Amino acid sequence: MKRIICALMCIVSISSSLAVAAEQPAPEAFPEAEHEEYIFPLLKPEAKLSGGYRYVRLNGSAGVDEYEYLHDSLTIGGEVRAFSFPHRFDLDFDVRNKKDYFGDMSYAYKDILLFRGINRTLYHNLVTIPLIDLNPATADPSVNVRDAGKDYGVDTGISNAFLRIKAPDFPLHFYADGTIVKKDGDQQQRDLIGSGWFNNVVRTSQKRDVDNKTTTLMVGANSHLGPVEVAYEHSERKFSVNGDNVLYDSYSNAGFIPVGSTRLSGLYPHNLLPELKSTSDTIKLHTSYTGAVVASATMTKMDKENRDSGAQADYVIGSGELSWIASRDLAFFFKYRQKETRMDTPNEVEFADLCNPSLNTGNNYRCLIKESVSSIVRTYSASGRYRLTPGITFRGEYGHETITREAADEWFMPSSSQMNAVSLSSDIRFSKSLKMKLNYVYKNIQNPAWNTQPDQAHEGNVSLTWTPAPWLSALASYRSTSERRDNLQFVYEQPVAPFDEVLVDSPDNRKARRDRFLGSVNILPMKNLTATLSFFYLHNKWTEDLAYNDDPAGNLFFDTGVVSQDTVRNVSIDLQYLMTKHTTLSAGVSTTESKGKFHPQSPDLLVPVSVASFSELEMRETIYTVGSEIDLKGGFSLGMNYKYAVLKDIADNPYDDIKDGEAHIIVVMLTKRW
């Protein structure tokens, strides 16, 4: 760690000296000039106030409009702007209903005081996943639905306040930034209860109260100290739970010889939401950005704690960057970053039977905790930019990352991993109307830590912008990613003593492909009409081996070459027409089709019910909008908007969480401007 600090300080010190030497002018280079005091113009305050009614009709699932509170409501909004130097004030608010509102207020006094406060609150309609008893003829049902017919939703409020104070006539700033994210409502909680894998398992669905808050506060200061700017920041974050932080359910005896040898029957806690807190301190330094040589360094110390389990994590992050603009057309950039993570977790945790807490007196209910993985990540990169001609620029970058881990063997992870990455990009201007961007990235990872990490990855991106005429502009962008992993690794516990965990390689490799395309065209076919057409396509496909542990002897069963894929298509058209000087009309339609499925190969996974049916999805979402705004006399205007949303479960799969629905929303607003 000391080597990081010394290296960063040397980079800043050397580059500061170079920057000062390169920028130091002759004494007569800046003759004293006369300055006239600028007189700010007098601007008349502006204000507007709107009020209206929002009419909603819902048929079917509320998921048809996921982030709308689908109930009738009064609406109100407004804005006030005032500029009377040295004071500046702005207030903007919009209340659509009791669950969806927005407010933004800012005030400034010269360049000495700046304040801004923002609140955004919206409602999220949550889907309910149905639990179906696949064999209702059995005496012991495998499903326990305690929330039949219940609809869930959570409103999320994000409040942020920022304050900055500057010392008069000196580059010294003090600032504070605070954010509160609060969630309130209820959601579906699905559990596997009973007695685990020992005998019967019951899939349970029940209501869970959501009431949690994340609070973040950051205070800091920065100043120019000669050729170097220094900043210090201290941040604290806290996650607190006031709702159902833990649930309780009855569990039967677990273990056979004797019965209850692993756990006696009783009422046990599960699904704990832990409360968390963290603190961090950061120091930033950088030289003047006006010279040919610029350097920056950042050092962060962060501590995190799980307040329920006592687990702690310490992070030390250091980074430095050196840039050199060799000429007008050539520049080089060098970066280094090191992140040290130290984990400190308890060796064991206790969980008592609530019906008979005395059962825990002999420490029979202790759960041993594996030592968490600590790591050191070192990242180096060097890049360059070269402008061949005024219309052609090339960029290249090479990066290397090394990860060393402690206690990795307990998690069947490699003790070290390395990644090499090369990227090449170019900006080409063929003409004033046609521009193209190209980018290619290659990554090679040795000893990847997770099954989803590839050994090799290729990513390419190309985008075109075309503006052949003032009335026509178009954009097209395509991105493709291809990944390959030689073998996947699965861990399972042997069914006989000493019950060791064994690592098994999959028979085949893993391949993944992701494609994304975006196209957009803006047309002005006539003076008062604007049309925008857009198309988006997303396709993910990966082929891999899946492992199942259903062999009485404890051997893993592999279903090889299983294909999974997701596809999304979106087409939208938006029109805006200025019918008269005082009347504006708008209309739009957007339709999105999504589908996803995986294709198991083994016959055992296809009968009596295909496992794929539990994840098969095919749906269509369509939204139609129509609006108008009419300017009336006396600063009044009348606005009307209609929205019709339709959700269709095309697959009509009884096991998915998609249900048909449609919603009509009409908003009428009267606005007065001063």
Which residue has better confidence, 600 or 436? 436
Q: Residue 428: its pLDDT value, please?
A: 96
Q: Contact at 8 Å (CB) between 95 and 79?
A: no
* Nearest in space to 343 (alpha carbons), one of 377, 372, 370: 372
Taking only the tens place, the pLDDT of each residue in 351-396 is: 777 777 766 666 667 777 888 999 999 999 999 999 999 999 999 9
pTM of structure: 0.84
**What SS3 class is residue 357?**
helix
* Nearest in space to 302 (alpha carbons), one of 364, 234, 378: 234
Q: Residue 198: its pLDDT value, please?
A: 57
Q: What average pLDDT does range 179-186 have in this prediction?
A: 96
Whether 301 has a pLDDT exceeding 90, the answer reads yes
Taking only the tens place, the pLDDT of each residue in 532-558 is: 999 999 999 999 998 887 666 667 888
Q: Residue 363: its pLDDT value, please?
A: 63
Which residue has better confidence, 39 or 400? 400
**First-to-last CA distance in the chain?**
61
Mean pLDDT, the chain, integer:
88
Q: Residue 441: its pLDDT value, please?
A: 98
Q: Contact at 8 Å (CB) between 476 and 501?
A: no
Whether 333 has a pLDDT exceeding 50, the answer reads yes
Q: Residue 403: its pLDDT value, please?
A: 96
CA distance 177 to 231: 15
| Across 44-48, 74-78, 495-499, 626-630, least confident range | 495-499
Which residue has better confidence, 161 or 149? 161
Q: What average pLDDT does range 46-54 have in this prediction?
A: 95
- Percent of the chain clearing pLDDT 90 (strictly above): 62
Q: pLDDT class for 502, splitting at 50, 70, 90?
A: confident
Q: Contact at 8 Å (CB) between 426 and 447?
A: no
CA distance 435 to 482: 26
Q: Residue 11: its pLDDT value, please?
A: 38
Q: Which amino acid is at 159?
A: S
Taking only the tens place, the pLDDT of each residue in 387-446 is: 999 999 999 999 999 999 999 988 889 999 999 999 999 999 999 999 999 999 999 999
Q: Residue 501: its pLDDT value, please?
A: 78
Q: What average pLDDT does range 175-200 have in this prediction?
A: 85
